[in-house]
Structure 1
Amino acid sequence: MGSKVKEPKPEWIKIKLTAGEPYQEIKTMMRSKTLHTVCEEARCPNIYECWANRTATFMILGDICTRACRFCAVNTGLPTELDLQEPERVAEAAEQMNLQHCVVTSVARDDLTDGGASIFAETIKAIRRKLPLCSVEVLIPDFLGNKEALQIVMDAKPDILNHNIETVERLSDQVRAKAKYERSLELLKRSKEMNPDIPTKSSIMLGLGEEWDEILQTMDDLRAVDCNIMTIGQYLQPSDKHLYVKRYVTPEEFAELKKEGLARGFSHVESGPMVRSSYHAHEQVKSAANANNVV
């Protein structure tokens, strides 16, 4: 994947350090309910900003992933945790935060027959019981292509079905572990076939050696399976053990990619150096709803 970028991070790669009262309150609540967040486990650069705004992405099914993707900081190994009470605790935390939009993701659990799909479904239902007006977005793994597992999640009717394609096709096998580019596209396609009214969403990271035309091809591939929302951000190396950053993409390029995405028919494109999959997620569900109403 090339040599490490030697120059310091550019000035546009900035993290807002605002670890004030809301941040500490959410951190304490998560620990008291034995919950995990992808904000912490994946070392998201936006954690201070999002938590200050009382927004968090819950990570269910434990904190040990069965895969070892070369970009991700989440711990890998053999999971031992399957907590059937976790959905209720997530719902209680969402209620305590009085969320209007709740994002739920997970580690990959290839050790489970359904990949954890049933826990996703129960979490959606539990949040709806506690917060009937709260929209729920799920960011799911590929379930190794298990169609029945995907159906379990779709039957719970999330407001947004999110699955990240992560990178361009040429780099996919080098960047991701077990996940396949075509399998990700197939998952997004199947979810639309199961329920065309549920918006779908996907995300890619830049700075891993992809070419401009490959990014545009990824957009076209996502639109070909009727993906509605796309997020585009800068890859940042979480540790020396992970893939090196090959290039820092400029804010101007991110702005141009947003235009390209909107021109291709995405209802919402979030594109910027610090953008991550769940960044400004509450705005994206509104855009998707408006697009459906226009149709």
Structure 2
Amino acid sequence: MLKPLNSTVRPSLPGEVTLKKVSGATGDAAPGFVGLPLVETQPRVRRPDWLRVKLPYGPVYKNLVELIDEHDLHTVCQSARCPNMGECWTAGTATFMILGNVCTRSCGFCAVQTGRPEPGLDYDEPRRVANAARIMGLKHAVVTSVNRDEREDGGAPIFAETIRRIRKEIPGCTVEVLIPDFRGIWSALQIVLDERPEILNHNVESVPRLYRRVRPQADYERSLRVLEISKDQGLRTKSGIMVGLGETEDEVLTLMDDFVRVGVDVMTIGQYLQPTHMHLPVEEFIHPDQFKRYKEIGEAKGIEHVESGPLVRSSYHAERHV
């Protein structure tokens, strides 16, 4: 029998590492909240050369850091320790993370802090995001968020207002939202869909077999339903996965078939990189040739565009996906 979410030990799958609840640094667990999983450490494997990136640098990057700090904003680039942060920020683009920087879920791959968010919503956040996007001169703005499972609306009204504010501040700017699953509360999802973002992105992250260790509070079929509902309402949809977590090629190809079935237009595939020793270990570094193969197969199956490469992340080259 599965133990409750706030249990100290979660059942293991055959061959998986043991995850233990941690309190303190990431917030004590309470009903509905889980502390960041602690993975029993293994020696880190040296990354192959194709995963080496330059550190962020230059005046453009420095100015963007100051701009984000000045407006009291969060970017997923920083919170998720994205390997492309230097490239994207130097080019003058960034992905804004709204609803705070504390997430109510404890995905085994994610570097965003887990815990209990401050109560309520920051209703001035959409204005600050739009103002920063205007100063940056963005032509395509990406907005994502932490999960706010303690709220019935999941923070959807802030997504909606952020879309409206960006369009008001920057006429002609396209907007992509990378949304949570809202726990399957479709009225919350509809609040976002009603604003008609140019791209509706929701990542399934991994193959269904690995969900209990990768996304323990998520549901693969529910995520597919988010994408299907969005597509049924005429939106351009996008979703992505990480590889190197122990999935097989056959599982990835089956997932692609699911994407075709629910009408996903854009798929992203990137290498999973372990943020800290407390997160899931990398099972395999996927060779660049395999990423090319995934792109070819996915597009042959009927996915319009597959962005596939070791350093690809959900918002990488996002402006090309509109």
Q: Residue 17 of structure 1: CA displacement?
A: 2.2
Residue 97, structure 1, aligned to residue 133, structure 2? no
Aligned to 1:235: 272
Q: The residue matched to 2:114 in structure 1 has which SS?
A: coil
Which among 100, 107, 112 is matched to residue 69 of structure 1?
107
Structure with greater helix percent: 1
Cα pair 2:56 2:85 within 8 Å, conserved: no
Q: Residue 241 of structure 1: CA displacement?
A: 0.5
Aligned to 2:59: 21
Cα pair 1:64 1:75 within 8 Å, conserved: yes
In 2, distance between residues paired with 1:75 and 1:117? Answer: 20
Aligned to 1:44: 82
Which among 47, 50, 66 is matched to residue 9 of structure 1?
47
Aligned to 1:153: 192
Q: Select the structure of larger CA radius of gyration.
A: 2
Counterpart residue identity of residue 162, structure 1 = N
Q: Residue 7 of structure 1: CA displacement?
A: 3.6
Cα pair 1:4 1:246 within 8 Å, conserved: no
* Stretches of structure 1 lacking an aligned partner (at least 5 in a row): 286-295
Please say which of residues 146-155 and 76-85 is displaced more in the overlay. Answer: 76-85
In 1, distance between residues paired with 2:52 and 2:139? Answer: 27
Counterpart residue identity of residue 257, structure 1 = Y
Counterpart residue identity of residue 261, structure 2 = A
Q: Deviations over 1:5-29 (max 9, x none)?
A: 7541111102122411111101100
Aligned to 1:116: 155
Cα pair 1:5 1:246 within 8 Å, conserved: no
Q: Residue 177 of structure 1: CA displacement?
A: 3.1
Q: Residue 222 of structure 1: CA displacement?
A: 1.0
Cα pair 1:208 1:235 within 8 Å, conserved: yes
Cα pair 2:242 2:272 within 8 Å, conserved: yes
In 2, distance between residues paired with 1:179 and 1:6? Answer: 27
Aligned residues: 283
TM-score, reference length from structure 2:
0.86
In 2, distance between residues paired with 1:272 and 1:10? Answer: 14
Cα pair 1:229 1:266 within 8 Å, conserved: yes
Counterpart residue identity of residue 49, structure 2 = E
Which among 178, 201, 213 is matched to residue 139 of structure 1?
178
* Stretches of structure 2 lacking an aligned partner (at least 5 in a row): 1-15, 18-40
Q: Residue 189 of structure 1: CA displacement?
A: 0.7
Q: The residue matched to 1:12 in structure 2 has which SS?
A: helix
In 2, distance between residues paired with 1:5 and 1:213? Answer: 28
Counterpart residue identity of residue 183, structure 1 = R
Cα pair 2:201 2:238 within 8 Å, conserved: yes
In 2, distance between residues paired with 1:133 and 1:7? Answer: 45
Q: Output the aligned Cα RMSD.
A: 1.2
Q: The residue matched to 1:270 in structure 2 has which SS?
A: strand
In 2, distance between residues paired with 1:242 and 1:19? Answer: 27
Counterpart residue identity of residue 251, structure 2 = E
Q: The residue matched to 1:112 in structure 2 has which SS?
A: coil
Correspondences of 1:1-295 after superposition (within 5 Å): 1=16, 4=42, 7-80=45-118, 82-193=121-232, 195-196=233-234, 198-285=235-322
Q: Deviations over 1:127-153 (max 9, x none)?
A: 000111110000000000011011100
Counterpart residue identity of residue 163, structure 1 = H
Cα pair 1:91 1:123 within 8 Å, conserved: yes
Q: The residue matched to 1:59 in structure 2 has which SS?
A: strand
Q: Which runs of 4+ in 1 moved over 6 A?
A: none
TM-score, reference length from structure 1:
0.94
Counterpart residue identity of residue 87, structure 2 = E
Q: The residue matched to 2:51 in structure 1 has which SS?
A: coil
In 2, distance between residues paired with 1:226 and 1:113? Answer: 28
